[in-house]
Structure 1
Amino acid sequence: MSSQRVHQHPSQEAILRAVASSTAIETGQRIADIEAKLRGGDSHLPQVSLAAINRPAHSAQR
């Protein structure tokens, strides 16, 4: 019997939360404050944003 795992990419919300929590650990700031800054675009580098995942539905197996 063959079982194939379906890989789901994290949502943009999950990525935002991960970035905020990681940054909070490094800086000592509150996660909620960092999330608000990321959502609001309040950045000293406005040209930089979170990466979007755009991959084909069927990627090559490794």
Structure 2
Amino acid sequence: MQNRSTNAKITKQQIYRSVASSTAIETGEDVRKIEQNLKQYQAKAKAIGLAR
């Protein structure tokens, strides 16, 4: 069995699209709407920060 090349980069955009499309299948909502919500929540989470 050959190993896959590890040169492929997975971007945040690809992750957002994957999560959004999976959620859209389950909920019946629009993929773009879910993707926008994910990005919005990510921005809010960065502003809050974590306790250390």
TM range (shorter): 0.5 to 0.7
Three-state SS of the structure 2 residue aligned to 1:8 is coil
- Give the TM-score of the pair, scaled to structure 1: 0.54
Q: Which has the larger radius of gyration?
A: 1
Q: By percentage of residues, which structure has more helix?
A: 2
CA shift digits 1:10-50 (9 cap, x unpaired): 111100000000000000000011001001118xxx6xxxx
Uncovered stretches (5+) of structure 1, i.e. residues with no partner: 47-62
- Give the number of aligned pairs: 40
Q: TM-score, normalised by structure 2?
A: 0.63
Tell me the C-alpha RMSD between the 2 structures: 2.2
